[in-house]
Structure 1
Amino acid sequence: MIALVDCNNFYASCERVFRPKLHGVPVAVLSNNDGCVIARSQEVKDLGIAMGTPMHHLPREAFERGLVLCSSNYELYGDMSARVMATLREFTPRVEPYSIDESWLDFAGFDRTALPAHCQEMHRIVYKWTGIPVSVGVAPTRTLAKLANRHAKRHGATRGVFVIEDAGSPDTLALLERTPVGEVWGIGGRVTPRLYEMGIRTALDLARANPTWIRRRFSVVVERTARELAGTRCIDMNDEHDSKKLIMTSRSFGQMTAERRDVEEAVRAHASRGAEKLRRQQSLACSLRVTLKTNKHMPHLPQDHDSITVALPCPTDDTFEIVRTAQEGLRRLWKDRGIRYQKCGVQLMDLIDVTGQQLDVFQPPQPAADRERTDRLMSVLDQLNGQYGRGTVTVGVQRQAAAWQLRSNHRSNRWSTRWEELPTVRLQ
Structure 2
Amino acid sequence: MAESVLALIDCNAFYCSCERVFRPDLAGRPVVVLSNNDGCVIARSAEAKRLGIAMAAPWFQVRELAQRGEVAAFSSNYALYGDLSDRVMRTLGTLVPRLERYSIDEVFADLAGLPEPLDALGHRLQARVQKWTGIPVSVGIAGTKTLAKLANAAAKRWPERTGGVLDLRDPVVHDWVLKHSPIEDVWGVGRRLAARLRGEGVTTAWELAAQDAWSLRQRYSVVLEKTARELRGLACLGLEELEAPRQTICSSRMFGRRQYQFGALAEAVASYTARAAEKLRAQGSLCRTLRVSIQTGMHGADEARYANAALLNLPVPSDDTRVLNDYAQSGLREIFRDGFGYAKAEVLLLDLYGRSEVAADLFASAPDPAATRLMATLDAINGKFGRETLRPARIPRDPAWQMRRDLLSPRYTTRLDELWTVG
Query: Into which bin does the TM-score normalised by the smaller protein fall?
Result: over 0.9
In 1, Cα distance between equivalents of 2:365 and 2:102: 41
Partner of 1:31: 35
Tell me the secondary structure at the aligned position of residue 410 of structure 2: coil
Match of 2:144 among 130, 141, 144: 141
Partner of 2:84: 80
Q: Specify the code of the residue in structure 2 equivalent to 1:87.
A: T
1:120-140, Cα deviation, whole Å (9 max, x unpaired): 111110111111000010100
* Alignment TM-score, normalising by the size of structure 1: 0.93
Within 5 Å, which residues of 2 pair with 1:202-241? 202-241=204-243
Count of residues in correspondence between the two structures? 418
Partner of 1:118: 121
User: In the alignment, is residue 161 of structure 1 matched against residue 162 of structure 2?
Assistant: no
In 2, Cα distance between equivalents of 1:191 and 1:130: 37
Partner of 1:151: 154
Of the structure 1 ranges 100-109 and 120-129, higher mean CA displacement relative to structure 2 is found in 100-109
1:91-117, Cα deviation, whole Å (9 max, x unpaired): 222211111111111223224x62111
Partner of 1:321: 323
Of the structure 1 ranges 398-407 and 346-355, higher mean CA displacement relative to structure 2 is found in 398-407
1:49-68, Cα deviation, whole Å (9 max, x unpaired): 11111111226356435311
Checking the alignment, whether the CA contact within 8 Å between 2:254 and 2:343 is kept in structure 1 is: yes
In 2, Cα distance between equivalents of 1:420 and 1:403: 21
Checking the alignment, whether the CA contact within 8 Å between 1:31 and 1:37 is kept in structure 2 is: yes
Tell me the secondary structure at the aligned position of residue 206 of structure 2: helix
In 2, Cα distance between equivalents of 1:59 and 1:407: 15
1:17/1:389 CA distance change after superposition, 3 Å: same
Checking the alignment, whether the CA contact within 8 Å between 2:6 and 2:110 is kept in structure 1 is: yes
Deviation for aligned residue 1:384: 2.3
Partner of 1:395: 392
User: In the alignment, is residue 409 of structure 1 matched against residue 411 of structure 2?
Assistant: no
Partner of 1:48: 52
Partner of 2:416: 419
Checking the alignment, whether the CA contact within 8 Å between 1:84 and 1:126 is kept in structure 2 is: yes
Please list every run of 5 or more consecutive structure 1 residues that lacks an aligned counterpart in the other structure. none
Partner of 1:349: 350
Deviation for aligned residue 1:232: 0.6
Within 5 Å, which residues of 2 pair with 1:357-376? 357-358=358-359, 360-362=361-363, 364-365=365-366, 371-376=368-373
In 1, Cα distance between equivalents of 2:133 and 2:68: 31
Q: Specify the code of the residue in structure 2 equivalent to 1:338.
A: G
In 2, Cα distance between equivalents of 1:360 and 1:60: 61
1:365-385, Cα deviation, whole Å (9 max, x unpaired): 45xxxx332122112211222
Of the structure 1 ranges 372-381 and 76-85, higher mean CA displacement relative to structure 2 is found in 372-381
- Overall identity of the aligned pairs, in %: 44
Match of 1:90 among 91, 94, 102: 94
In 2, Cα distance between equivalents of 1:409 and 1:148: 38
Tell me the secondary structure at the aligned position of residue 4 of structure 1: strand
Q: Specify the code of the residue in structure 1 equivalent to 2:13.
A: N
Partner of 1:71: 75
Partner of 2:131: 128
In 2, Cα distance between equivalents of 1:297 and 1:35: 15
Of the structure 1 ranges 125-134 and 170-179, higher mean CA displacement relative to structure 2 is found in 170-179
User: In the alignment, is residue 18 of structure 1 matched against residue 22 of structure 2?
Assistant: yes
1:220-262, Cα deviation, whole Å (9 max, x unpaired): 1111111111111111122424211111110010100111010
1:31-71, Cα deviation, whole Å (9 max, x unpaired): 11111111111111111011111111226356435311111
Please list every run of 5 or more consecutive structure 2 residues that lacks an aligned counterpart in the other structure. none
In 1, Cα distance between equivalents of 2:27 and 2:12: 13
1:220/1:239 CA distance change after superposition, 3 Å: same
Q: Specify the code of the residue in structure 1 equivalent to 2:259.
A: T
In 2, Cα distance between equivalents of 1:183 and 1:425: 42
Partner of 1:281: 283
* Alignment TM-score, normalising by the size of structure 2: 0.94
Root-mean-square deviation (CA, aligned residues, Å) is: 1.8
Partner of 2:194: 192
Deviation for aligned residue 1:188: 2.4
Partner of 2:113: 109
Partner of 2:255: 253
Checking the alignment, whether the CA contact within 8 Å between 2:358 and 2:364 is kept in structure 1 is: no
In 2, Cα distance between equivalents of 1:218 and 1:408: 42
Tell me the secondary structure at the aligned position of residue 350 of structure 1: strand
1:356-402, Cα deviation, whole Å (9 max, x unpaired): 32455445545xxxx33212211221122223322222112333453
Runs of 4+ with deviation above 6 angstroms: none
1:59/1:327 CA distance change after superposition, 3 Å: closer
Tell me the secondary structure at the aligned position of residue 191 of structure 2: coil
